Amino acid sequence: MRIIHFVNEGRSQLAAVNDEGQMFALPQNNFLSLIQEADEKQISPLELVLNSTEGREALSGQVEQMQLLVPIEAPEVWAAGVTYERSRDARNYEATEGRLDALTFYDKVYDAVRPEIFFKSTAARTVGPGGEVQLRSDSVWQVPEPELGLVLNAKGRIVGYTIGNDMSCRDIEGENPLYLPQAKVWKRSCSLGPAIRLAETVDDPYNLQITSRIYRNGEQAVEGTANTGQLKRKFDELTEFLMRDNELFEGTVLLTGTCIVPPNEFTLAPGDRIEIEITGIGTLVNHVVGAVS
């Protein structure tokens, strides 16, 4: 069961979409209200959705025709890093200008007990499906990072899964790891969507296929695939560290790290179209725009 947030006759609305593609209107206006209500009633979001849609007629139309909005206005988006071998190797390349001869802090964090977790975005900096992600004006090496996103309630329980794009500047981060916040956080540097798959309806979150494609001038420029089975960490391990001595807000999203990195010579350009697909969640599509001052 997936939850979408869309515009209907000028108003935003939620709907549940079952595996047959049938859509059912939900009374809650947004996903935050849905998880809050489920918490108050001490039932799972899935139970609440099933109770709310029981006996209702399916909506006409198909998800592909809807004007989708960001599925959750996450108060905070956090991200884990260097959780896949591919990411560790890419960071080592950036940080050593390709020398790859000495042990780096990326090697260390990959094997350490404590994972890398950083602050990525706020609701105001995050765009939704079909939205425009923006490039930084002071970077010449920018890439999307396709990631599985965990949607958490205030107690740190995973209530759903979504797709995230952790837009990143490889040159800024590679120059000095202390520049990480600038390599990761700026206007429209994060996107989420197109839907939230309710956690209880995912058979095995460690076996989800992730595919990323970047189109330039209508032609595919880059494609990559990976599987969440390649993740070095467990989701509970990541959420446990995020919650340590921290207050978690309802609807926080935790991105779980990238496993797909474009070839080293590739950098995003205005006009590019980014597609990120994850099994059972859908395809997140975003358009790249140049820096806007």
Nearer to ligand DO4, 83 or 126 (CB): 83
Q: Is 39 in the site for Mg ion (CB under 5 A)?
A: no
Task: Give the integer Cα–Cα distance in Å for 82 and 108.
Answer: 10
Token pair for residue 106? 């990326």
Q: Is 94 in the site for Mg ion (CB under 5 A)?
A: no
The crossing angle, in degrees rounded to 10, of helices 31-41 and 45-53 is 100
Binding to ligand DO4 (CB under 6 A) within 127-156 occurs at: 145
Task: Give the integer Cα–Cα distance in Å for 30 and 128.
Answer: 14
CB of 78 to ligand DO4, least distance (A): 11
- Provide the β-strand partners of residue 248: none
Burial of 123 (0-12, 13-18, 19+ CB in 10 A): middle
* Contact residue for ligand DO4 among 149, 257, 262, 282 (CB under 6 A): 257
Which residue minimizes CB distance to ligand DO4? 81
Number of Cβ within 10 Å of residue 274's Cβ equals 22
The site string for ligand DO4 over 207-246 (x = CB under 6 A, - otherwise) reads ----------------------------------------
* Contact residue for Mg ion among 76, 166, 173, 272 (CB under 5 A): 166
Closest CA to 106 of 170, 38, 61: 170
Return the range that interacts with Mg ion (CB under 5 A); candidates 37-45, 109-117, 138-146, 191-199.
138-146
What region does 280 belong to: left with phi over 0, alpha with psi -120 to 50, or beta? left
Task: Give the integer Cα–Cα distance in Å for 134 and 119.
Answer: 18
* Contact residue for Mg ion among 39, 145, 272, 277 (CB under 5 A): 145
Nearer to ligand DO4, 205 or 257 (CB): 257
User: Is the bond preceding residue 194 a cis peptide, omega within 30 degrees?
Assistant: yes
CB of 184 to Mg ion, least distance (A): 8
Nearer to ligand DO4, 66 or 82 (CB): 82
List interacting residues with Mg ion (CB under 5 A).
Answer: 145, 166, 258
List interacting residues with ligand DO4 (CB under 6 A).
Answer: 79, 81-83, 87, 91, 116, 145, 166, 173, 257-258
